Structure 1
Amino acid sequence: MTSDNSPAEQGPLRRRTVVAGATWSLPVIAAATATPAAAASATQTLVFSSIPTMIACMPNTAPITLTLTGGNVANVPVRVNTPPGFRFGGSGTDTFVTDANGVATIPAGSVIAGPSTGSALAFGGSAKTNAPFPVSQTGDLQYSTGLATVPENSGFIHTSSQGVNGNVSVKANGDIWQYRRSDGWQKLGTGASTEPSTSGLTQQPDGTYNAHWIKDGVLQYGKALATVPNNSGFVRTYGQGADGNVSIKSNGDVWRYNRQADEWTLLGTGASTEPSAAGISANPAGTLNVHWIKNGVLQYGTAAATVPTNSGFVRVYGLGTRGTIAVKSNGDIWRYTPQGDVWDLVGTGASTEPSAAGLTQRPGGTFEIHWIKDGVLQYGTRLATVPENSGFVRTYGQGADGNVSVKANGDIWYYSPAQNTWTKIGSGASTGPDAAGITAQGDGALNPHWIKARTDCR
């Protein structure tokens, strides 16, 4: 975000009425420093103080605010120019008036997002500023190098896979689809959460797989309600196939589903509600429980985990019998191996974004972590062997099924352990979290499902 001392560009004043907008819990970009503008009466500064993430080609669901400080800040017109591809109705420019505290509000529903993140400009008083309007990309679901066979194939925002167990994919309009080799694609319902870490496949006691997913805070299983007690307020769910499920409420309550016992258990409170912040892992005896984060401290079941220097954790990935990956806010990345009951510091400088680490099998049958450092894909303590190794933002390790990794420019690469080769399978992939995974088709062949982001909103 930048600003300079140029006088404000003023258009015709059109006062907008502020209306209440629905909140949306994807990340919000907070205010950044803007260079003050010189004015005769006082120095003024204008910043975007709150910018919620929008979904591509859809209206903003929460207000966007700007704050003017210095001198007279009340009843000041603030002109906003949207990024290319965005619009206010039929125009890319609109004017909003500050309140007594210098806050100008762009109401929910006022801005139609473009296909991807872009930078907006704003002018108010004697100051101006700019800031990115973040966008969650949407597009057509792909399978390997072609289109997936899912009906109504457009507008997908998230997809996750579990190899032979299937795939679950969510559209920006809340439609949710599940793929299983036994019955193909089935639409499970509508109104699904469009945030990351809100759907995944879980095995039930009879051996079949269905998706746990969230609708208006209520946990679903397949086409019915989940059996979790006090079923409301859920914001994250992590389905791990035969290992079970862990789901988290907005108040921090964390619930575990044990498939063998067919029961839900409340493990604790105060859990992180961020994506990629819980998962199921085994202990040395082979018993499964949940790694989760409370105030930066990694938990296991109902007690603190045994990881050294247990503070500052922001991401955790459960690997079942293969253990756990945990990432700190400072970029330290740790791996837990149940077989040795040991935590190892794998490296430093790891990406703290969600969907940025995972376990992949190597040809000899052993497993290591794929993770990202400054855009470079790592494998354990070494560089990954992927060609053109730079610019990576997401990596999805799926054990013996391989790995799929995505660059900031949308290039998508697939690693096959059986062939021990990396293959570039496409370009234009969504760079958001939970946007790729490896699925087996009817004949057992494995390939990635991924989302090819739309490039316009027509």
Structure 2
Amino acid sequence: MTSATPQDRRINRRTIIRGAAWSAPVIAVAAAAPSAAASPREFRIAPLSDFAATRCVATSAGTARFRVTLRGAAAPVGTPVALQLPAGLTFTAGGTTANVTTVADGVVNVPAFTVTGPAGSYAITGTVNAQVSPAQVFGDVNPSPGTVTELRRSVGPATTAPTFSTVAMTGITTATLGAISGDQAATGTVSTGSNAAVIVSPGGSVQIWGNNSGTQAPAHSILAVGGTNVSGVRFVDSWTSVQTANAGAGGVAAGATGAAVYQWYRNGTGAGPLTTTPVTGISGNVIDAQSNDGYSYVLTSTGLYWWANTGATAAATLIAGTAGATQFSSYAVRETAYTFGGAVLMANGSVQTWSTAAHTLTPRAGFPASIRSIEAGPSAVFALTNDGGLYSSGGAFSSSTGGANWTQRATGVSAFSTWSVSNYSGGSYINATGAVTQFFAASASGIAYTTAARALASGVQAVKVFASDGTYLALGSDRRVYAWGGNLDSGGATLPAAVTGISNAIDLNVWGYHQPSGSFYGGGYIITSTTC
């Protein structure tokens, strides 16, 4: 299946997205001395508020906070706490460590800091005493503007190790985020079936390109409605049909409110103009927007909306009962049959899913508590909890311990990315030390959940991971992109290697497609920018 991941899912739950992908590693520092009147073990420290940041822009003091308790009550004012920033973050006053003290109610305000590393997820560690477990405050960092390069994977069977090449986009120098998808089109042995869109600052216009969108890389065109360029966009996603002889493609672009949502679409013959139209019937402030072959979705403060996205007009329908939902994940695959659906994290913390044209929600019983991000596919739903637990649910895990029920698959996870198709699922995640683990399960083949370490270069920590069927990417703390191919049932699986010619990477995305019993296709895009 294809994979396209919107990047601007604002901090709310995790608070961190997707998902996106989360945090960089953090190392606890030696503790400051506790109060002489208390046993060191009676102190506790916990995260109080996570943070959102933009690369190269200072984050104000007190945006990230901890809370310290003593014997269950707020610690006295002046209790010392040691703070450690991960690689890529620097205190405005200098350095990556700081000794601070609690204020009223045991609150610890993290001093102002700036992100100089790539976009991704990071964690700040607070330690109140060496004999007490440290705590982490998580945050999601949005990229600063940069140039765009398309990444292309070689085409081949599972037993053939892939190679990766790049195409520099012309004239895009201030891209901030975007999405990419693709199909089985190829030029020679190189995947060229991608369709992408990136938001350009200032102004929030959208540049699109792709094999089915009318403008092939390195050229691109601006998204417009009736001759007027779309602007103010904060969320974008794209889709590509993988059905044989179907060259359909499209996407969604959304501004801050439901009154500023647009769809673009080109019909399945791949001929004729690209049609862009406003989407009606949406209200509230936009939280996320996603688009797949057949249906598009926008989550707002009012609830989750859907609409059929292959027409000249688009009118959205609100899914009843979704007001207050904090995030969602959707999918669609159109091959010999059409499969679609998704999952939504409700206001009460429960998970509900849909897979019918009426978009009727069904509770996903047994969900874990305190979910901060979810991802859904045809045969699996994943959830990452606030304490770093990664859980799976779905038919792809029927041959694994715990089966299709909600089951914890990993602990200490700070970021993850997944994919799934019929009875197959895989992905990758980052732990608290910045190490990457790839995983796989396939009930159709009787393969139980299995994992394998995927090391980047020596001393390099991962800050983001992106997974698709057979194509995997990681963004390193050294601002390089590491790519590898193959799933864990494949003899052609490779180890991560830095993409040649790419440095100063600050964000990226991936897509991948595996033809049933056929070849693997894939690619992505990379945003690069100079040092702050």
Distance 1:105 1:290, change over 3 A: closer
Q: How far does residue 170 in structure 1 lie from its aligned partner after superposition?
A: 4.3
The match for 2:4 is none
Q: Does 1:73 align with 2:102?
A: no
* Contact residue 175 and residue 527 of structure 2 kept, 8 A: no
Paired AA for residue 483 in structure 2 = I
Partners of 1:333 and 1:431 in 2: CA distance? 34
Q: RMSD of the alignment, in Å?
A: 5.2
Q: Does 1:114 align with 2:101?
A: no
SS at match of 1:436: strand
The match for 1:212 is 252
Partners of 2:308 and 2:322 in 1: CA distance? 21
The match for 1:193 is 234
Q: How far does residue 272 in structure 1 lie from its aligned partner after superposition?
A: 8.2
* Contact residue 391 and residue 407 of structure 1 kept, 8 A: no
* Contact residue 248 and residue 271 of structure 1 kept, 8 A: no
Q: Does 1:141 align with 2:149?
A: yes
The match for 1:437 is 511
* Contact residue 484 and residue 497 of structure 2 kept, 8 A: yes
Partners of 1:303 and 1:380 in 2: CA distance? 27
* Contact residue 411 and residue 424 of structure 1 kept, 8 A: no
Distance 1:105 1:210, change over 3 A: same
- Show the 5 A alignment for 1:45-444: 45-60=44-59, 63-70=63-70, 73-74=76-77, 80=83, 82-89=85-92, 91-92=94-95, 98-106=102-110, 110-116=112-118, 120=124, 131=136, 134-136=139-141, 138=143, 140-144=148-152, 145-153=165-173, 156-163=176-183, 164=193, 166-170=195-199, 176-181=206-211, 182-184=214-216, 185-188=220-223, 191-193=232-234, 199-201=237-239, 209-218=249-258, 219-221=260-262, 226-241=278-293, 243-251=294-302, 253-259=303-309, 262-270=314-322, 273=325, 277-280=329-332, 292=344, 294=346, 295-300=350-355, 301-305=358-362, 310-312=365-367, 315=374, 317=376, 323=378, 325-327=380-382, 331-335=391-395, 345=404, 355-359=417-421, 369-372=424-427, 375-378=437-440, 380-381=442-443, 389-391=452-454, 393-397=465-469, 403-406=470-473, 411-414=482-485, 426-427=497-498, 435-438=509-512
Distance 1:299 1:210, change over 3 A: closer
- Number of residue-to-residue matches in the alignment: 387
* Contact residue 210 and residue 221 of structure 1 kept, 8 A: no
SS at match of 1:87: strand
Partners of 1:67 and 1:333 in 2: CA distance? 33
- CA deviation string 1:140-167 (max 9, x = no partner): 5342222431533466544321334611
Runs of 5+ unmatched residues, structure 2? 1-9, 17-22, 153-164, 184-192, 224-229, 242-246, 265-275, 385-389, 397-402, 430-436, 456-464, 514-519
Distance 1:156 1:76, change over 3 A: same
* Contact residue 327 and residue 350 of structure 1 kept, 8 A: no
Runs of 5+ unmatched residues, structure 1? 1-22, 337-343, 360-366, 398-402, 440-444
Distance 1:315 1:151, change over 3 A: same
Distance 1:72 1:89, change over 3 A: closer
Paired AA for residue 449 in structure 1 = G
SS at match of 2:524: strand
- CA deviation string 1:321-369 (max 9, x = no partner): xx55434677344249xxxxxxx9499665796631133xxxxxxx663
* Contact residue 58 and residue 113 of structure 1 kept, 8 A: yes
The match for 1:39 is 35
Partners of 2:150 and 2:495 in 1: CA distance? 14
- CA deviation string 1:70-122 (max 9, x = no partner): 48633668675644543343523677664432324347xx3211315666566
Q: TM-score, normalised by structure 1?
A: 0.63
Q: How far does residue 239 in structure 1 lie from its aligned partner after superposition?
A: 0.7
Distance 1:263 1:214, change over 3 A: closer
* Contact residue 355 and residue 434 of structure 1 kept, 8 A: no
Q: How far does residue 256 in structure 1 lie from its aligned partner after superposition?
A: 1.4
Q: How far does residue 48 in structure 1 lie from its aligned partner after superposition?
A: 4.5
SS at match of 1:28: coil
Q: TM-score, normalised by structure 2?
A: 0.55
Distance 1:212 1:202, change over 3 A: farther
Distance 1:379 1:413, change over 3 A: farther
Partners of 1:121 and 1:328 in 2: CA distance? 23
| Percent identity over paired residues | 11
Q: How far does residue 135 in structure 1 lie from its aligned partner after superposition?
A: 4.8
Q: How far does residue 64 in structure 1 lie from its aligned partner after superposition?
A: 1.0
* Contact residue 246 and residue 279 of structure 1 kept, 8 A: no
